Amino acid sequence: MRQVFNDLQAGAYGDVRFNEPLAPYTTWKIGGPADILLTPRSKDQLIRAVRFLHDRGIPWTVIGRGSNMLVTDKGIRGVVIKLGDTLETVRFEGTLAIAGGAYSFIKLSVMAGKEGLTGLEFASGIPGTVGGAVYMNAGAHGSDVSRILKQAEVLWETGELATLQRDELQYAYRHSLLQTKPGIVTEAVFQLEYGERNEIAAEMAANKERRLRTQPYTLACAGSVFRNPPGHHAARLIEDAGLKGLRSGGAEVSTLHANFIVNTGEATAEDVVTLIEKVKAKVLEKYGIELHPEVLVVGER
């Protein structure tokens, strides 16, 4: 990989770092090193980098703000592409909100509210980027991305750009086409509606207050760990099984919200994986319901 590192540096593809620890780049503050961490400084550099890696058969992984993902202790082989401020853009055209893939999803909801646009209030407590939200079909409070997305610009692993309409993304609960066909969301267009600024602000404030009261965001975590099974809430099942406070090494099932696993300070990825398996086994034993994680585990095991 040293030669790849040298080639990336020589080709001016952005900021390139060798054997870079990834824990500081994730909200769980967990993870081993990337062989190479690449942060393109422009969209053109991003496109050229993806084409360079594709032509040489070099695997790559993309991260935004590092939420909703667990990087293994051995780290990620190949190149990790970190989306930088080149894709942290936003603009509004009437009722359309157009945001770069690296733009904060929470900040987008705030900006939309200030524009008097309704439809993104549910996003006011969802960490991560616009690209990550499109990828995961992120949702809360009875809504999700699929209800408001108009289209997304995607950079495929071949280095080709394509514009996909909402239906082409094959949305389902916490699922999109991008989870089976690798690509990077470079821009997303959301179809919103005009609303009353005071009502929008009040709903967002209520969502934020509820989040701060019920979710452990003062500790390193990655949001909800498990998908809600049909007809059930994962947090309720975990809590009723008496698993709040259950620990494995430095990882703990939050005592505030049972569907969060927090890093108490020195947790490893293996601690988190072990705890996930313990929770799954207990809920299956007690209720006959299999829980499925929504967090992405990436890297060498």
**Which candidate in 124, 176, 224, 248 is catalytic?**
224
Q: Does 294 qualify as catalytic in the annotation?
A: yes
Catalytic residue among 121, 174, 187, 252: 174
Catalytic residue (choose from 153, 187, 252, 294): 294
Please state, as a whole number, how many other Cβ atoms lie within 10 Å of the Cβ of residue 282. 17
Q: Is residue 17 within 8 Å of 82, Cβ to Cβ?
A: no
Contact assessment for residue 82 and residue 129, using Cβ atoms and an 8 Å cutoff: no
By annotation, the residues acting in catalysis are 174, 224, 294
